[in-house]
């Protein structure tokens, strides 16, 4: 071998070893991340619409939500909820809330946030509005109940109280305690 070839070979070998060394030094340690366990069998929906029917399959109510997600305990969490009863159910109320939870047995709807229930066929033929931070509804029996603060407006009249039981189909409300009101003639 010619001395020039040997020098070239040594320089190429040194360059190869140097580039390998540099590539190893720039490669950081392996980054590991812990991936949380994902739920199996759960779901989520955007623009969700849930229909409730009676034993004969007749529509009783409709629940619309911007977002719905099944939780690990099988409850369903809803965001920006709107509930309306069908005309056949003869319940003149519509209900809106920021959040709602449908329990695992699908027998109770727990509303929270700014809960507002409105009836255009309310008491004495006047628009009736119920406002409360929390409200539990059994949509199949048309019963709504809360132990929290309630504001009730019937036309220009206003009542406040703590706790309420509402039988929506019968159009009957009962404030439980601490009732005070304002009546304008």
pLDDT tens column, 33-92: 554 454 446 788 899 998 888 888 888 889 999 999 988 888 899 999 999 988 777 788
pTM of the model: 0.72
What Cα–Cα distance (Å) separates residue 142 from each residue in 13, 112, 137? 85, 18, 7
Residue 87: give its domain's CATH number: 2.60.450.10
Flag whether 127 is in a domain: yes
Tokens 């509402």 found at: 166
Q: How many domains does the chain have?
A: 1
Range of the domain at 160: 45-182
Q: What is the pLDDT of residues 154-171, one digit of tens each?
A: 888 888 999 999 988 888
Flag whether 136 is in a domain: yes
Residue 124 dihedral angles phi and psi, to the nearest 5°:
55, 30
- The 3-class SS string of 139-185 reads CCCCEEEEEEEEEEEECCEEEEEEEEEEECCCCEEEEEEEEEEECCC
User: How far is it, in rounded angstroms, from Cα 61 to Cα 15?
Assistant: 77
Flag whether 72 is in a domain: yes
Flag whether 95 is in a domain: yes
């Amino acid at each position: 071998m010619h001395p020039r070839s040997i020098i070239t070979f040594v320089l190429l070998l040194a360059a190869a070893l140097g580039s390998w060394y540099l590539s190893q030094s720039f490669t950081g340690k392996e980054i590991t991340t812990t991936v949380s366990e994902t739920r199996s069998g759960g779901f989520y929906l955007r623009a969700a619409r849930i229909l409730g029917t009676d034993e004969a399959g007749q529509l009783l109510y409709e629940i619309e939500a911007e977002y719905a997600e099944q939780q690990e305990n099988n409850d369903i969490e809803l965001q920006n909820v709107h509930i309306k009863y069908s005309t056949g159910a003869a319940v003149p109320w519509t209900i809106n809330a920021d959040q709602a939870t449908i329990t695992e047995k699908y027998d109770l709807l727990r509303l929270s946030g700014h809960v507002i229930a409105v009836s255009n066929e309310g008491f004495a033929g006047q628009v009736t509005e119920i406002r409360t931070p929390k409200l539990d509804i059994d949509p199949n029996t048309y019963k709504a109940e809360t132990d929290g603060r309630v504001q009730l407006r019937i036309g220009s009249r206003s009542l406040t109280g703590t706790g309420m039981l509402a039988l929506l189909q019968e159009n009957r409300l009962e404030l439980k305690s601490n009732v005070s009101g304002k009546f304008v003639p």
